[in-house]
Amino acid sequence: MSSITRVAGKIIIPTPFAVGDVNTYLLKGDALTLVDAGIKTQEAKEALERQLKELGYRLSDIEQVILTHHHSDHCGLIDVFQEDPLYGHEDNQRYLKRDPAFMKEQKDYFTSMAKQFGVPPQLMKYANDVESLYTYSGSKPLTHFLKEGDWIPGHPGWRAMETFGHSQGHLSFYHEESGTLIGGDLLLGKISPNPILEVPKRAEQERLKPQLQLNDSLRRLQNERLTIVYPGHGKDITEPYQLIEKRLKNQHERAFHVKSLIGEDRRNVLELAIQLFPKAVKRDPALALFETLGQLDYLDSLHEIESEMVDGVVWYYNK
């Protein structure tokens, strides 16, 4: 295998989700590496096998798998590669192992959050049916951890960047010489990634603010030389700086739309989510709530709003 490393192929895998197909990437260098592994369905496995064959490879030729993050559309087929090293950020491990204590921790945490949002617990999928979140996820534990600045084994010049926000273990992989980024779900061409709330790593840790993290991660990219971004969904991004500015601008405007919805009154997260996403809040209430919470966190960071808890529900109002 040549020591010159490159993106040798983009493999497009179908998912049953509204986001549509997910992209995985083949890196060719001193190790044949699959970046992300699609979703756990037979259709996805067949698509992976077929497109690998078109590139001249078989599943058995893959020598290692690297994850951008733990979401099921990115880690679903990791069990296919039982004998191969699996790399990712350490925070992904709890979502791959899914031991009973962590599953209970998730249920308890999101039950508490549901009350704070003003949501009846029976409507909070994350709290009531945690197991269903992993229907399409693989369960092979990571064999090696990657963190900020680590080089991808077998691929000189490729380093990991911690780009949290969409998840707390989200990594992007950057090749400075060519200006290439494998970005996972950090920057997508058609949609903005959801700032998904996750259980803090430590019980005493304050609630995470993923929208602020996501914005910081996007701003980091503005300081790097980028010629192309290979995203987790959709087409390759050839004008990344322009898209980053658009994403940040749109998010800012969305947040101030939320501020206008609050008006002279007070609102909780559920009330605002219903106004912002009347259809999505019925289809996937958790994601609609997380998106709404993200806008409130952003407004709070600008000192535009205040909040208070009354009978366990957090209410927001304009300053």
Q: Which CATH number characterizes residue 87's domain?
A: 3.60.15.10
Task: Give the amino acid at 290.
Answer: F
Residue 67 is predicted with a pLDDT of 98
What does each of the 319 residues of the chain score in pLDDT, given as a tens digit? 344 567 889 999 999 998 999 999 999 999 999 999 999 999 999 999 999 999 999 999 999 999 999 999 999 999 999 999 999 999 999 999 999 999 999 999 988 999 999 988 666 666 677 888 899 999 999 999 999 999 999 999 999 999 999 999 999 999 999 999 999 999 999 999 999 999 998 877 889 999 999 999 999 999 999 999 999 999 999 999 999 999 999 999 999 999 999 999 999 999 999 999 999 888 888 899 999 999 999 999 999 999 999 999 999 999 9
Q: How many domains does the chain have?
A: 1
Is 126 a domain residue? yes
> Residue 89: CB partners within 8 Å, gap ≥ 6?
67, 69, 145, 146, 147, 160, 162, 169, 170, 171
116 within 8 A of 55, measured Cβ to Cβ: no
Is 1 a domain residue? no
What is the Cα–Cα distance from 283 to 136, expressed in whole angstroms? 18
Q: Where are the alpha helices (DSSP H) in the chain?
A: 42-54, 72-75, 93-97, 100-117, 125-128, 210-222, 240-262, 269-276, 280-283, 285-301
Range of the domain at 252: 6-318
Residue 203 is predicted with a pLDDT of 74
pTM of the model as a whole: 0.94
Residue 285 is predicted with a pLDDT of 86
Neighbours of 310 (CB within 10 A): 9
What is the Cα–Cα distance from 271 to 116, expressed in whole angstroms? 12
Residue 124 is predicted with a pLDDT of 63
